[in-house]
Amino acid sequence: MNDRPEEADSSAPARHRSPRAIGVLLLIRAALGGVLMGLANLVPGISGGTMLLAAGVYPEFVEAVSAATRLVRRWRPWIVLAAVAIPAVLAIGLLAGTIRDAVLEHRWVAYSLFIGLTLGGAPTLLRMIRPITRGAVVSAIIAFCGMVALAILQETGEGEPGLAVGGIAGLGIAGFAGASAMVLPGVSGGYLLLVLGQYVPVLDAISSFVDALRSGAISEVLAAAPPIIAIGVGVLLGIVLVSNGVRWLLHHHRHPTLGVLLGLLLGAVAGLWPYRTPVVPEVGSHVRGVLIETELQAAEVPLKHRPTVGFTPSPLVAAASIGLILVGFGMSIGVSRLGGVDEDEEEDPHRGPQA
């Protein structure tokens, strides 16, 4: 008789402490997801939204952005948004040049790791979809096929000059497109920047601004600021508009929307084939709209502008690649497990998460 009240008393404090513990761990997941999102948006073929899915914080992020646009007075969405956005901005600002060089010089290493990180988000989405409906399955298949088609288009179009939207306006459009892809899983912001002809200009603008800040020269900072402002405005508009659209879909068509997200996530792997390497362009070919007329001119083409070709990996490289995929998968699973994703969701699985 006396044991039961004691058990009840001991369990009550645990229940009261649980939300705080989950809240802290949710913010850790959000911060790690933000870092991964920032890094992913520097790499063509990888979606920042996919990384948020892998970290298990995508619905929370969408809700936080929507709440921020409505200027809600609750603290939770603002903290979640800051926990994702600040690490993402820092990762982009501090690592833009490093990530660009790593992808160009060690593509198979970077892409193998990102394949694992991406696949690690699938179990989280499957838990969110339960019970799995026919609509979710059909949506996932359609989205998966769409991503495979996009991957094929990306590979066949690689090395083309793109649409070459230029100037400050082009950077603003690039910011909007990149941010939209940042929120929409499976769609690569880097690839959209390639299509717009703005991938290298955007990374160069970020690197130039960071270098100007490090130099401490006001004149250099002011000179480098307009491109960054244009990109920032485009990013803000893209995140706000797309996040609110995804939030509406999650609330009104939850299972088909989650099915689409799962298909986008799995299909994104098709665009991450790691066994490609930059090569010297052939004489007579065009690189960024410029005709290559001599071998010397071809050899002087920067690594970041060279076309890529597939190669057959050696057994050692293949084994290392598989190891990196497993490492990325384990990292993604570990991040999504922090605090328990299911415990952060509302009790009714058919409703979207509350802001």
Q: What is the pLDDT of residues 37-58, one digit of tens each?
A: 887 767 655 667 777 877 778 8
Task: Tell me the per-residue pLDDT of 148-201, one tens digit each, with 9 for 90 and over.
Answer: 887 776 565 544 444 445 577 778 888 887 777 767 766 666 666 766 667 767
Could you tell me the two tokens for 75?
Answer: 């603290």
Asked whether residue 297 is domain-assigned, the answer is: no
> Does residue 172 belong to any structural domain of this protein?
yes
User: How many domains is the chain partitioned into structurally?
Assistant: 1
Q: Are 89 and 121 in contact (CB under 8 A)?
A: no
Length of the chain, please?
Answer: 355
Position 94 confidence tier, pLDDT thresholds 50, 70, 90: confident
Q: Taking 60 as the threshold, does the pLDDT of residue 107 lie above it? A: yes
CB count, 10 Å around CB of 306? 17
Q: Is the pLDDT of residue 15 over 80?
A: no
Residue 8 domain-assigned? no
Alpha helices in the chain (DSSP H): 3-40, 48-55, 58-69, 75-105, 107-119, 122-129, 134-157, 167-183, 189-195, 199-215, 218-252, 254-268, 295-299, 315-337, 341-344
Percent of the chain with pLDDT over 70: 76
Give the global pTM: 0.62
**Any idea which of 17-31, 37-51, 82-96 has the lowest mean pLDDT?**
17-31
Position 233, amino acid: V
- pLDDT tens digits for range 309-353: 888 999 999 999 999 999 988 887 776 665 444 444 443 434 444
| Segment 194-223 mean pLDDT | 78
Which residue range forms the structural domain that includes residue 96?
17-275+312-344
Residue 25 lies in a domain: yes
Query: Would you say residue 307 lies in a domain?
Result: no
Query: Of the given ranges (45-49, 100-104, 137-141), which has the lowest mean pLDDT?
Result: 45-49
304 within domain boundaries:
no
- Within a domain: 305: no
Q: Which two three-digit tokens encode residue 47?
A: 């979606």
Residue type, 212: A
Asked whether residue 296 is domain-assigned, the answer is no
DSSP state string for 267-318: HHGGGG---EEE-PPPTT-EETTEE--SHHHHHTS-GGGS-EEE-PPPHHHH
183-187, 242-246, 287-291: range with highest mean pLDDT: 242-246
